[in-house]
A and B are shown apart, each in its own frame.
Chain A
Amino acid sequence: MGIFVLRRLWQLVVVLLGGFTIMFVLFFALPDDPAVILAGGGTRVPPPQVIENTRVRFGLDKPLYEQYLTRLVDAVTLRGTSFKGEVPVRDTVKERLPASLRLAFWAVAIETVVGISGGVLSARRRNSFSDWLTTTAAVVLSAIPVFVLAYLLKQLTGVYAFEHDSWFQLPTSTIGPNEWYLGVIPSLDQLRYLVQPAFVLASVSTAVIARLTRTTMLEAAGSDHVRTARAKGLKEGQVVRRHTLRNALIPVVTYIGIDVGTLIGSAILTETVFSWPGLGSKIASAAGNRDLPVMLTLSMVVILIYGIMSLVVDLLYAWLDPRIRLEDAK
């Protein structure tokens, strides 16, 4: 097991370096001159001297290999400074990473609890009204684009609620007071800012997990060992919990593991619509603004998270499926 973990960590280092290199190359391969954009070239033509001064200011006049090494060291040590606002990248990571982790945590909690419950219910009551309801809800949630759902929710809980003085009014944007207990538990006021973005972020994944759980549960329910468990006289609840669900969860765990990385690093639409200061929206805006230090460092943070989550998922497999542990032991 130890060697397995070490091997995976080494692979992660290679992936990090590869990701960094690709992002670096892409930055300079894009058609615009970044110095022009940074000098205000989005709405006018900056004078040549202004462009040159900007190029020197941001170190874009140095040879590419030198920039590569400098940016790599800065990214690893979090020493870089944003091109926009001269903000240390470390401060950006300190602000954005916890915000993304907290939002992703609650989105995963929602999608896990609601998605798996819905899938189990749907599978156990196949072709019933509750099965139909769950299936329909899953289809609707996965069909509606995230930003549409967000907009509609905000219209309902923000604009409509305000105009009708309703009790269910919720804030429409920003992270709010940023008050948390034990890192992830929001204060009551914080909860009002969290509930919508978490729900929206979890929406599509909840639908996918519900459908996936239903399918895998139905598959597992038809297998021999489950039939044997029933034949032995075990209660249905015990059959589901100990024999059906555990096997059915393996692909679900895989999906959730991959999804965590996506929720942390790619929740661009949700973060933008709710002005939630997360990693995804920051990387997207950094790319658009040619903010190289931020783009590189935050991307590496996201890759790191993906890699760690992938490792955790693999370790969870071993716990869920003893056969994998036995194989490793051999």
Chain B
Amino acid sequence: MKRTRSMSIASLAVGFALVATSCGDSKTTSSGTGGGGATTPAEPSSCTTLKYDDAPTGGAVNDFAQLSSAGDNTTFDPGAVQTLDESQITYAMFNGLTQFDFTDTCKPVLKPLVAEKVESNSDATEWTFTIRKDLVFADGSSVKPSNFKREWERAGSAEFASPYGYLIAYLKGGAALQTGDTKDLPDLLADDTAMTLTVPLSAPNADFDAIVSHSFFMPVADADLARLGTTPAGWGDKGATIGNGAFKFVSADAPDSGKVVIERNDKWTGNVTGDTKAKLDKITFNITADTKTSYQAFESGEGDNATIPSGKTKDATSKYNNTTKSAQIGSYFFDFGFADPVVGGDKNLKLRQAISLAIDRDEINNKVYDGVRNIPTGITPPGIPGFKADLCKYCKFDKTEAKKLYDEWTAAGGKLDAPLKLSFNSGGGHEGVVQIIQANLKANLGIETELNSIEKGYFREIAKEGACQICRSGWFADYPTYGNFMVDLFGKVSIDGNNLGRHNDPAFEDLIAKAQSTVDKTKRGELYNDAESKLLNDTTSAIPLNWYVGDQVYNDSLINYIQPPLGIIAWEKVGKKK
């Protein structure tokens, strides 16, 4: 009797423990039965006007949101920083030639920042930046054109081996610098007297003024350049730390434990939205091993903010009023193998269109993402200059139209002899998504699919020829340009790279080439719109599923804690209630 009772109590305790840990981690699957008829694509509810309140000067933030995946931390040196988390520190400490004003999140405006004037020649093959004369780094040394030239030569060098080193290839001579054939960029002219930086490009690029807003192109102080040379950057003071941004570096513990501390930089002169001084005295970025640990620290009152762990969004939203639900410039989609014999080519266009229409994006959003993501109307999300809503005709759930197109395809001789392969990387939370797609296709079109989970080296494997039939992709913009989506994800130049479906359409290539060399922003946007429309409608080469949103929670004491579309918090605006 005693043994039975003790075992019962033990079983109850274990059961309780298991239930407690399963809270918020549900990823349900679908039976595949969606609603009837068509659903109208939603207006992008992600378009807002960012409003910042007056915040008092002073106070400190104890951050648990940014560095909550300790294993990913490598550096916040601007030439080598990789992750969005580390970039929060980089962008707080460094400013670039230009900066986006995201006040209207769907119509961002690129403005000069460290440059006071930005000009290009008529075909966008050469850019000239006139640098402001009054700017200094945190150590008091002047920000000069040569700081840019020397930093770009450092960051783009083979020896430095930056993960973003390929960006230097935009510049004339950049490719040779990347391969180590040269040690500098002789055509890049930095005139410290005239305060001009003249940048010849390797090919026309009308987006270059936006590209230089990326951290890779930010300046580094003379003292850091002398200290570091082209030695690969590491954590803390093993990378550049003397910046020209709103905050200055104080200290950093190990990359996977402890904290990073930055303080207000009183030598900073301001940003593109009129701020001239950071509100906070200090920010402490705490490093934790995973997001669940940091979220628990936030819930325990130890921190001012945290990243919301997967599956906890409903809990966080209901318990705390303050979550950063703003739209981000990230897109989640699936590629079709462009040359795949089963789904690719002109003869299978109606099959692809049918598949895209048969997927219930609302169901995926509700069941996998707690309803927080935005339903897309294209690949390129709002927040990208030139964005146009409702580009995609097949990004809605319409099982009637889907069936009609599928029947037309089969009537014309189309036949599936084997299940279609849905490929995705395991461990990234995509299992719920593909299960819903699988159920939708079966229920709405009678199409059988097999789930192909790839555990190791997914992106490299799926980018190989013949590997992608229908494959998971996703992208968070490095910098807010249309080309960062169209060229980097679907351009021929990106085959064997991030163009996972190996999309290769001459008409599309023609449009993006014209866009890249068109200086007029409006016309450039229209050309990219045409390219995206061709991609999604004329060839239906991808299936957009959702657009990313912010994923952080913060307590009531913080003011102006907003994640703009690029995901980088405007730390200079953040304040603490007294």
Pair count A-B, CB < 8 A: 190
Of the candidates A30, A37, A86, the one having the most CB atoms from chain B within 10 angstroms of its own CB is: A86
B504 to chain A, nearest CB (A): 16
For A273, the chain B residues whose CB sits under 8 A away are 289, 292-293
Given A84-B74, A173-B296, decide whether A155 and B20 contact each other with a Cβ distance below 8 A: yes
Q: Please judge, given known A-B contacts A174-B257, A289-B71, whether A54 and B161 are in contact too, CB under 8 Å.
A: yes
**A-side interface size class:** 35 or more
Instruction: Kindly state the separation between the CA atoms of A37 and B165 in the bound complex, as whole angstroms.
Output: 16
* Given A53-B178, A148-B17: A46 in contact with B163 (beta carbons within 8 A): yes
Partner of A143, one of B14, B75, B496: B14
Q: Chain B, 4-48, contact with A by CB distance < 8 Å: what is the 0/1 string?
A: 001101100110011011000000000000000000000000000
Residue ID in chain B nearest A171 by CB atoms: B302
Asked whether B481 is an interface residue with its Cβ less than 8 Å from the other chain, the reply is no
Is A132 a contact partner of B6 (Cβ separation < 8 A)?
Answer: yes
A148 pairs with B21, CB closer than 8 A: yes
Q: Which of A36, A41, A85, A172 contacts B74 (CB 8 A)?
A: A85
Which residues of chain B have C-beta atoms less than 8 A from A161's C-beta? 300
* Contact between chains at A45 and B463 (CB < 8 Å): yes
Nearest A residue to B500, CB-CB: A45
Q: Cβ of B244 < 8 Å from any Cβ of A?
A: no
Interface residues of A in 162-191 (CB under 8 A from B): 162, 169, 171-175
Chain A CB within 8 A of B578 CB: no
Q: Is the CB of B293 within 8 A of A272?
A: yes
B70 CB within 8 Å of chain A: yes
Contact B163 A172 (CB under 8 A): no
Mark A128-151 against chain B: 1 for CB-CB distance below 8 A, else 0: 000010011001100111011101
Q: Could you say which residues of chain B place their CB within 8 Å of the CB of A162?
A: 299-301
Give complex CA distance A174, B475 in Å: 32
| B254 lies within 8 A of A87 (CB) | yes
Contacts of B18 in A (CB 8 A): 148
Is the Cβ of A159 less than 8 Å from the Cβ of B300? Answer: yes
Residue on A with the closest CB to B294? A173
Q: Which of A43, A92, A139, A159 has the most CB of B within 10 A?
A: A43
**B498 adjacent to A44 (CB under 8 Å):** yes
- Do A87 and B165 touch across chains, with their CB atoms under 8 A apart? no
Q: Would you call B497 an interface residue if the criterion is a C-beta within 8 Å of the partner chain's C-beta atoms?
A: yes
Out of B292, B457, B496, name the residue touching A41 (CB < 8 Å).
Answer: B457
Distance between Cα atoms of A148 and B17 in the complex (Å): 6
**Which residues does chain B contribute within 8 Å of A169, judged by CB atoms?**
300
Residue among A155, A159, A172 with most chain B CB within 10 A = A172
Tell me whether A172 and B165 are in contact (CB under 8 A): no
Residues on A with C-beta less than 8 A from B9 are 136, 140
- Cβ-defined contact, B10 with A45, below 8 A: no
B290 contacts the other chain (Cβ, under 8 Å)? yes
Return chain B residues, CB-CB under 8 Å to A31.
456-457
Among the stretches B87-95, B119-127, B230-238, B395-403, the one at the interface with A is B230-238
| Contact assessment for A56 and B10 in the assembled complex, using a CB-CB cutoff below 8 Å | no
| Closest A residue, CB atoms, query B163 | A40
- Is there a chain B Cβ closer than 8 Å to A152's Cβ? yes
CA distance A48 to B70 in the complex (A): 27
Contact B256 A282, beta carbon cutoff 8 Å: yes
CA A36 to CA B302, docked complex, whole Å? 37
Query: How far apart sit A261 and B69, CA to CA, in the bound complex (Å)?
Result: 27
A interface footprint on B437-470 (CB within 8 Å = 1, 0 otherwise): 0000000000000000000110110010000000
Bound complex: CA of A277 vs CA of B288, how far in Å? 10
For A136, list chain B residues within 8 Å (CB). Answer: 6, 9-10
How far does the alpha carbon of A215 sit from the alpha carbon of B499 in the complex, in Å?
Answer: 64
Contacts of B20 in A (CB 8 A): 148, 151-152, 155
Q: Does A98 contact B (CB under 8 A)?
A: no
A246 touches B (CB below 8 Å): no
Q: Using an 8 Å CB-CB cutoff, how does the interface string of A22-56 with B read, 1 for contact, 0 for none?
A: 00000000111100110111111111111001101
Q: Shortest CB–CB separation between residue A218 and chain B, in angstroms?
A: 16
Taken together as a complex, chains A and B put the C-alpha atoms of A33 and B288 apart, in Å, by: 27
Known interface pairs A31-B457, A159-B296, A285-B70; A272-B17 also in contact (CB < 8 Å): no
What are the residues of chain B within 8 A of A92 when measuring CB–CB?
A: 254
Kindly state whether residue A281 has any CB partner on chain B within 8 Å.
yes
Report whether A41 and B460 are in contact in the complex, using a CB–CB cutoff of 8 Å: yes
Decide yes or no: A158 and B299 within 8 Å by CB, A132-B6, A281-B289, A285-B70 being known contacts. Answer: yes
B51 within 8 A of A: no
- With both chains docked as a complex, state the minimum distance between the C-beta of B503 and any C-beta of chain A, in angstroms: 14
Report chain A residues within 8 Å CB of B70.
Answer: 275, 285
Inter-chain contact A50/B257, CB cutoff 8 Å: no
Asked if B552 is at the interface (CB within 8 A of a chain A CB), the reply is no
Which residues of chain A have C-beta atoms less than 8 A from B457's C-beta? 31-33, 36-37, 41
Identify which of A32, A44, A152, A174 contacts B17 (C-beta below 8 A). A152
Contact with A along B167-200 (1 / 0, CB 8 A): 0000000010011100000000000000000000
A56 to B178, CA, bound (A): 12
7 additional A-B pairs beyond A86-B234, A282-B256, beta carbons within 8 Å, are A36-B460, A44-B459, A45-B500, A49-B179, A50-B178, A172-B293, A289-B71
A-B pairs with beta carbons under 8 Å apart, 18 shown: A33-B457, A39-B163, A40-B163, A41-B459, A43-B459, A48-B496, A53-B165, A86-B235, A86-B238, A95-B257, A132-B6, A143-B13, A147-B21, A171-B297, A273-B293, A275-B70, A275-B288, A281-B289
Top 3 A-B residue pairs of the complex, sorted by shortest distance between their CB atoms: A86-B234, A158-B300, A85-B235
